[in-house]
């Protein structure tokens, strides 16, 4: 249960990003500045945390061969940020978030292919309800005319795949401390961003034009909290369950947009939020009941 709560908190942190990005775009900042500031500041903050842990808990050690593998496992994080922020420049936010949330079933497929783990019937049902709830919560039902774009769809699905892979690789056990793992993956995401944006282009004027006001919260909520919490929690619960729990991102995004941006949220969207919460909660309640049953059995045996 501790692992589930940690993953839930990490995924909820991702939900705040869309609101911050909209505020940054409203101030005239472009995709390059937003993505680069988020990734590089996030990596910087993660390494500060590693430094703090090293001072008070010297058990963190570096293993070059293993660390390079972890760095490359952070590439999907950079891919997700780049592709999603490109997607929203081609299609409405409602379509972009709907495309991104295809990571839920993609994550299940990855678990089936590479780990041969078949989800339970309840998990399959949760994924179905989650996808249906996403359609409602995204706001698609309130649009009289849908705006589709092939580049937008491609970028959205690419972002979904990147996020699904990121969740999957976080489910892999490794010998490194989870805080070091998070820092290395954040660094991998920042390095990957250099394939599309040169750091000095994105960070140009960061101290003088106000980009820092958005880069810092984007880094904390996107590149510090999720990687750290995922690195700790996902190995404990598995990628399939983590993909379902990560559905909390959209309700948080809807609530954040309503409270901060004062966006109108329709009854369809609130219904979608409720369905998503149900899809996330029901499997966890069953898991808790099963755990209690095992405890009772063990107590009787003693």
Confidence of residue 295 (pLDDT cuts 50, 70, 90): very low
Mean pLDDT of the chain: 78
pLDDT tens, residue by residue, 254-275? 788 778 877 777 788 888 888 8
pLDDT of residue 195: 79
Confidence of residue 299 (pLDDT cuts 50, 70, 90): very low
pLDDT of residue 288: 45
> How long a stretch of residues is the chain?
302
Confidence of residue 247 (pLDDT cuts 50, 70, 90): confident
CA proximity to 244, closest of 111, 77, 137? 111
pLDDT of residue 144: 54
pLDDT tens, residue by residue, 67-76? 777 888 888 8
Confidence of residue 292 (pLDDT cuts 50, 70, 90): very low
Ordered by start, the domain boundaries in the chain are: 2-124+146-264
Confidence of residue 189 (pLDDT cuts 50, 70, 90): confident
Confidence of residue 206 (pLDDT cuts 50, 70, 90): low
Q: How far apart are CA 288 and CA 261, in angstroms?
A: 37
The yes-or-no verdict on residue 176 having pLDDT over 60 is: yes
pLDDT of residue 158: 93
Q: Could you write out the three-class secondary structure of the chain?
A: CHHHHHHHHHHHHHHCHHHHHHHHHHCCCCHHHHHHHHHHHHHHHHHHHHHHHHHHCCCCCCCHHHHHHHHHCCHHHHHHHHHHHHHCCCCCHHHHHHHHCCHHHHHHHHHHHHHCCCCCHHHHHHHHHHHHHHHHHCCHHHCCCCCCCHHHHHHHHHHHHHHHHHHHHHCCCCCCCHHHHHHHHHHHHHHHHCCCCCHHHHCCCCCCCCCHHHHHHHHHHHHHHHHHHHHHHHHHHCHHHHHHHHHHHHHHHHHHHHHHCCCCCCHHHHHHHHHHHHHHHHHHHHHHHHHHHHHHHHHHHC
Tokens of 197: 């944006």
Q: Looking at per-residue confidence, does 90 or 203 come out higher?
A: 90
Burial class (CB in 10 A: 0-12, 13-18, 19+), 294: exposed
Tokens of 51: 């430094």
Over range 190-217, report the average pLDDT: 74
Q: Looking at per-residue confidence, does 64 or 131 come out higher?
A: 131
The yes-or-no verdict on residue 225 having pLDDT over 70 is: yes
Confidence of residue 147 (pLDDT cuts 50, 70, 90): low
What percent of the chain shows pLDDT beyond 70? 80
Over range 5-26, report the average pLDDT: 84
Please tell me which of 66-70, 116-120, 168-172, 219-223 the model is most confident about, judged by mean pLDDT: 219-223
């Amino acid at each position: 249960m501790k692992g589930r709560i940690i993953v839930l908190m990490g995924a909820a942190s991702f939900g705040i990003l869309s609101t911050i990005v909209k505020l940054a775009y409203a101030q005239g900042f472009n995709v390059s500045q937003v993505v680069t500031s988020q990734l590089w500041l996030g990596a910087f903050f993660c390494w500060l945390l590693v430094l703090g842990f090293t001072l008070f808990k010297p058990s963190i050690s570096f293993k070059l061969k293993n660390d390079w593998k972890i760095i490359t496992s952070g590439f999907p994080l950079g891919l997700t940020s780049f592709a999603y922020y490109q997607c929203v420049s081609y299609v409405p936010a409602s379509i972009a978030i709907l495309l991104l949330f295809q990571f839920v079933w993609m994550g299940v497929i990855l678990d089936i292919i590479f780990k041969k783990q078949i989800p339970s019937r309840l998990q399959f049902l949760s994924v179905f309800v989650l996808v249906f709830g996403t359609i409602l919560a995204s706001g698609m039902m309130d649009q009289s005319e849908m705006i589709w774009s092939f580049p937008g769809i491609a970028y959205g699905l690419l972002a979904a795949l990147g996020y699904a892979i990121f969740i999957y690789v976080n489910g892999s056990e490794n010998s490194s401390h989870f805080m070091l793992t998070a820092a290395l993956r954040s660094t991998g995401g920042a390095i990957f961003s250099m394939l599309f944006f040169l750091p000095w282009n994105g960070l140009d004027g960061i101290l003088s034009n106000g980009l820092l006001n958005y880069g810092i919260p984007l880094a904390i909520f996107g590149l510090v909290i999720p990687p750290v919490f995922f690195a700790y929690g996902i190995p404990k619960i598995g990628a399939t369950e983590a993909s379902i729990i990560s559905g909390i991102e959209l309700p948080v995004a809807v609530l954040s947009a309503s409270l901060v941006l004062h966006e109108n949220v329709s009854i369809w969207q609130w219904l979608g939020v409720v369905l998503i919460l149900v899809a996330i909660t029901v499997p966890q309640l069953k898991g808790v009941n099963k755990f209690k049953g095992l405890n009772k059995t063990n107590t009787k045996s003693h």
